[in-house]
């Protein structure tokens, strides 16, 4: 049986109070609508139609590269009208049509699959996926008579008797393509001035067609995002389930509500994650690592037994086994930190290779540098890699000792085993095993203070 999917995403999302279309608000690293599409893609639909509004350019751009037909709903006249806009692309289509709201990002592919199967097995013209919500919030209430579904009433239109009904509409429907013809029978709802897709249920019932409502999956899957409060709740539920998965796999997570772990990330056993840690993109973290509070790690590869101390930011970098980074370090793209290396507080590293066991423990900027093994970089050392026009490389060979507060004006090389005296501005290469020094020699002027320093200082000095 072939399957066509319609995703409704033309709504204005007014309740979000946002300039961004609702379905593009990010949730766990990707837009809401991408979550919905990722749930329907495993069902291998022959056609996927996304209904957008005339300002939906940003939605199209966000979904570029996916095999999607965009249907434009000219005026926001409700969900029934939105499906009609999509149905124009299905005139010659025969098979099952699965309709989902673009604002229900927690949909699970498995539940959709079961639902579509049940729809086919039961030979229903119109099937809808319902769930039990307590309280029923603003979801449409499922009306049943003698157990058989007869209609859906929206929260705003429900009578005092209907309001307490806990079986509600998920916004997921499966229909035979022929049932799309019923769309034109939907009458405008006077209270809201919209054509409700939900009315298709009572219309089909009245036509004597077979209709069913199925309670499949868990209520959490069908949460619709209408407000920022809903977005926050959906994010929390996703983060919790991802964190639970990693805990089952042997990762310690101290506060699962405060950590963010991208679904694409990997974390090794016996790694400990403190509160407030964000692990983004395709980051891979090895075994036995400790990631202290408030670190953000994006698209990085981290070896085993690595320590990342508090409030460190790392992007597109590789950290080798037993290295230690932070607190308050900034590791920028194309950086490779070698085994057992130590990067300390307030150190920024960009596009550099730090060799095995090398250390930059305090207050440094290292950019476009090739640092060998066993190097010690003193506090406050800066690679001056930019001349205002181009970036230049600094090479620091194995075993070098760079004294504190050194400026290395690139391009420059400090040869193997050399020393650089503290406070130097190094503009020329330092040969291996040499001492590079470029500071003026110190002079002491005896008795200067009583002669020249201001009166108040003179007293204190004594
Ligand atoms: C809808 C259902 C409700 C159900 C709930 C599930 C209707 C009338 N009500 O309510 O029974 O419990 O979903 O989450 O269908 N959209 C368009 N064009 C429009 C209006 C909406 O494409 O003119 C899209 C929206 O972008 C959204 C979806 O349809 O993705 C649902 O619209 P929304 O306004 O959020 O409906 P709900 O009030 O949540
Ligand atoms: Ca909604």
pLDDT on residue 73 = 97
Q: Extract the tokens encoding 218.
A: 């868990």
Fold topology of 3-222: Spore Coat Polysaccharide Biosynthesis Protein SpsA; Chain A (3.90.550)
Question: Ligand 1 atom 37: the closest Cα is on which residue?
Answer: 139
Interval 120-133: pLDDT, tens: 999 999 999 999 99
Question: Ligand 1 atom 34: the closest Cα is on which residue?
Answer: 11
Interval 19-53: pLDDT, tens: 999 999 999 989 999 999 999 999 999 999 999 99
Residue 29 CA to residue 301 CA, distance in Å, equals 18
Q: pTM value?
A: 0.89
- The preferred substitution site among 37, 171, 229 for testing ligand 1, maximizing ligand atoms within 8 Å of CB, is 171
Mean pLDDT of 3-10: 98
Q: 195 CA distance to ligand 2 centroid (A)?
A: 15
Q: Report the 3 state secondary structure along the chain.
A: CCEEEEEECCCCCHHHCCCCCHHHCEECCEEHHHHHHHHHHHHCCCEEEEEECCCCHHHHHHCCCCCCEEEECCCCCCHHHHHHHHHHHHCCCCCEEEEEECCCCCCCHHHHHHHHHHHHHCCCCEEEEEEECCCCCCCCEEEEECCEEEEEECHHHCCCCCCCCCEEEEEEEEEEHHHHHHHHHCCEECCCCEECCCHHHHHHHHCCCCEEEEECCCHHHHCCCCCHHHHHHHHHHHHHHHHHHHHHCCCEECCCCCCEECCCCEECCCCEECCCCEEECCCEECCCCEECCCCEEECCEECCCCEECCCCEEECEEECCCCEECCCCEECCCEEECCCCEEEECCEEECCEECCCCEEEECCEEECEEECCCCEECCCCEEECECCCCECCEEECCCCEECCCCEEECCEEECCCCEECCCCEECCCECCCCEECCCCCCCCCCCHHHHHCCHHHHHHHC
Atom of ligand 1 nearest to the CA of 51: 22
Q: Residue 453: pLDDT band by 50, 70, 90 thresholds?
A: confident
Ligand 1 in reach of 136 Cβ (< 6 A): no
Atom of ligand 1 nearest to the CA of 196: 8
Ligand 1 in reach of 80 Cβ (< 6 A): no
Percentage of residues in the chain with pLDDT exceeding 70? 98
Mean pLDDT of 5-10: 98
All structural domains of the chain with their residue ranges: 3-222, 228-436
DSSP bridge partners of 352: none
CATH 2.160.10.10 assigned to domain 228-436? The reply is yes
pLDDT at 460 over 80: no
pLDDT on residue 49 = 98
Positions marked catalytic: 362
Interval 305-346: pLDDT, tens: 999 999 999 999 999 999 999 999 999 999 999 999 999 999
Mean pLDDT of 51-70: 94
Atom of ligand 1 nearest to the CA of 226: 35
Mean pLDDT of 414-441: 97
Ligand 1 in reach of 366 Cβ (< 6 A): no
Ligand 1 in reach of 33 Cβ (< 6 A): no
pLDDT at 458 over 90: no
């Amino acid at each position: 049986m072939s399957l066509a999917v319609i995703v409704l995403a033309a709504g204005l999302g007014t309740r979000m109070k946002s300039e961004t279309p609702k379905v593009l608000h990010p949730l766990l690293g990707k837009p809401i609508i991408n979550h919905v599409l990722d749930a329907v893609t495993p069902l291998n639909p022959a056609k996927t139609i996304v209904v957008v509004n005339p300002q939906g350019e940003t939605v199209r751009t966000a979904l570029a590269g996916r095999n999607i037909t965009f249907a434009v709903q000219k005026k926001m006249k409700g969900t029934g009208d939105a499906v009609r806009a999509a149905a124009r692309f299905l005139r010659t289509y025969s098979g099952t049509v699965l309709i989902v709201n673009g604002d229900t990002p927690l949909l699970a592919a498995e539940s959709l699959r079961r639902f579509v199967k049940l729809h086919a097995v039961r030979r229903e013209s119109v099937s809808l996926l319902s769930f039990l919500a307590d309280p029923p919030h603003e979801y449409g209430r499922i009306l049943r008579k003698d157990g058989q579904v007869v209609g859906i009433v929206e929260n705003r239109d429900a009578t005092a008797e209907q309001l307490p009904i806990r079986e509600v509409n998920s916004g997921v429907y499966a229909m035979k393509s022929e049932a799309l013809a019923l769309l034109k029978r939907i009458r405008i709802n006077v209270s809201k001035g919209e054509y409700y897709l939900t009315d298709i249920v009572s219309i089909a019932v009245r036509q004597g067609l077979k209709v069913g409502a199925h309670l499949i999956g868990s209520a959490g899957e069908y949460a619709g995002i209408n407000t920022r409060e809903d977005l926050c709740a959906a994010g929390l539920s996703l983060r919790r389930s991802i964190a639970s998965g990693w805990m089952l796999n042997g990762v310690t997570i101290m506060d699962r509500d405060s950590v963010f772990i991208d679904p694409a990330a990997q974390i090794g056993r016996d790694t400990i994650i403190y509160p407030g840690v964000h692990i983004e993109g395709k980051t891979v973290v090895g075994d036995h690592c400790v990631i202290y509070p408030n670190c953000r790690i994006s698209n990085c590869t981290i070896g085993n037994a690595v320590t990342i101390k508090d409030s460190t930011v790392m992007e597109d970098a590789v950290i080798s086994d037993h290295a230690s980074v932070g607190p308050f370090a900034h590791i920028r793209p194309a950086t490779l930190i070698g085994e057992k290396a130590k990067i300390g507080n307030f150190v920024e590293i960009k596009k550099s290779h730090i060799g095995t066991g090398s250390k930059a423990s305090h207050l440094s900027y290292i950019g476009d540098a090739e640092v060998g093994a066993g190097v010690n970089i003193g506090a406050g050392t800066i690679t001056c890699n930019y001349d205002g026009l181009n970036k230049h490389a600094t090479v620091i060979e194995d075993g070098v000792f760079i004294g504190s507060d050194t400026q290395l004006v690139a391009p420059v090389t400090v040869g193997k085993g050399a020393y650089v005296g503290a406070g130097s501005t190094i503009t020329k290469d330092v040969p291996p095993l040499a001492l590079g020094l470029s500071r003026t020699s110190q002079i002491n002027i005896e008795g200067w203070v009583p002669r020249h320093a201001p009166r108040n200082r003179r007293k204190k000095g004594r």
